[in-house]
């Protein structure tokens, strides 16, 4: 199996019936997108795909949206989905590289080695006329061992130290307008702008028109133009911790290894009154 974080649509179609290859629909849409991830899954999904609901598989004790659950809860949810140890997991979403990387990242920080994102997701799969099915999918329960790598998850206090020390780069996946503070945040009660010292690489700029990840040369140029040195430590962030993982995936594809993700992201930082917020690019 490839060590790349991505697999192609052709690879997945060739391996749909391979034992222990599990396909996961990890779609999550913003309210303003006007899309229903559950309804779209039931109407059409890749054959055999189970539905990974990021909203449901999150920390029920947190006031922040879809934060990482504790390992025992994650393991319980995966067992009920029929996802377990020793499997090859392939995640996709309905935009391409939007929320699937978040699911990929969740599996990675829970200790799963063999997990990948379908390059291009459902848009590319559909455009190529590949097989689909409808209705729910039930898999037999399977034991899942969760070993949380807490070092890959940046907390609020850790981010404050990062900003104070400057020992890690902060890269924000939100749109340039949200990053600069020229438009209001979609969630009420949040200030507009970004964290001190943060760089901006919008998640939508990572994708081609078909939803797949841009080529290595283009990605390297984009990060460089944003002032990001991929050979140095990076902490990714976004609005609520979802699309930050797309930056993590893109950086991983370029060979970056010292990566963490700020799970609270702007939902936490921008809603507090004791944080510094910078406006402008």
- Token pair belonging to 123: 């848009």
Beta pairing partners, 118: 7
Q: How far apart are CA 276 and CA 255, in angstroms?
A: 32
| Cα–Cα distance, 124 to 244 (Å, whole number) | 22
d(CA 92, CA 172) in angstroms, rounded, equals 22
Is 238 a residue of the active site?
Answer: yes
Q: Which of 68, 203, 238, 249 is catalytic?
A: 238
Distance (Å, whole) CA 97 – CA 167: 28
Do 109 and 148 contact (CB within 8 A), yes or no? yes
Return all residues near 224 (Cβ < 8 A) that are at least 6 apart.
Answer: none
Picking from 70, 209, 217, the residue whose alpha carbon sits closest to that of residue 150 is 70
Total length of the chain: 281
CA distance to 3, 112, 185, 260, per residue, from 104 (Å) = 13, 9, 26, 14
Find the helix or strand (DSSP H, E) in which 223 lies.
helix 216-225
- Spatial separation of the C-alpha atoms in residues 1 and 7, rounded to whole Å: 10
Give the 3-state secondary structure of residue 243: coil
Q: 196, 278 in Cβ contact below 8 A?
A: yes
CA–CA gap between residue 279 and residue 227 (Å, rounded): 18
Just list the catalytic residues.
Answer: 238
């Amino acid at each position: 199996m490839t060590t790349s974080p991505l697999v192609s649509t052709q690879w997945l179609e060739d391996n749909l019936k391979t034992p222990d290859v599990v396909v996961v629909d990890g779609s999550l849409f913003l309210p303003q997108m006007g899309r229903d991830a559950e309804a779209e899954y039931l109407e059409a999904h890749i054959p055999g795909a189970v539905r990974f609901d990021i909203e449901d598989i999150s920390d029920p004790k947190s006031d922040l949206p879809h934060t990482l659950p504790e390992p025992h809860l994650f393991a319980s949810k995966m067992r009920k989905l029929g996802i377990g140890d020793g499997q090859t997991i392939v995640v996709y979403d309905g935009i391409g590289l939007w929320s699937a990387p978040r699911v990929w990242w969740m599996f990675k920080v829970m200790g799963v080695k063999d997990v990948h994102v379908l390059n291009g997701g459902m848009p590319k799969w559909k455009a190529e006329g590949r097989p689909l099915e409808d209705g729910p999918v039930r898999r037999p329960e399977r034991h899942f061992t969760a070993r949380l790598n807490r070092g890959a998850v940046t907390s609020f206090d850790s981010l404050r130290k990062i900003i104070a020390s400057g020992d890690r780069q902060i890269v924000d996946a939100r749109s340039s307008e949200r990053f600069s503070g020229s438009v209001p945040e979609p969630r009420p009660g949040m200030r507009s702008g970004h964290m001190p010292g943060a760089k901006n690489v919008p998640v939508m700029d990572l994708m081609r028109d078909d939803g797949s990840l841009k080529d290595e040369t283009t990605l390297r140029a984009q990060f460089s133009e944003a002032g990001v040195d991929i050979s140095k430590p990076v902490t990714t962030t976004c609005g609520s911790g979802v699309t930050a993982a797309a930056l993590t995936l893109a950086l991983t594809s370029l060979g970056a290894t010292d990566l963490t993700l700020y799970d609270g992201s702007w939902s936490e930082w921008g809603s507090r009154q004791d944080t510094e917020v910078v406006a402008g690019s």
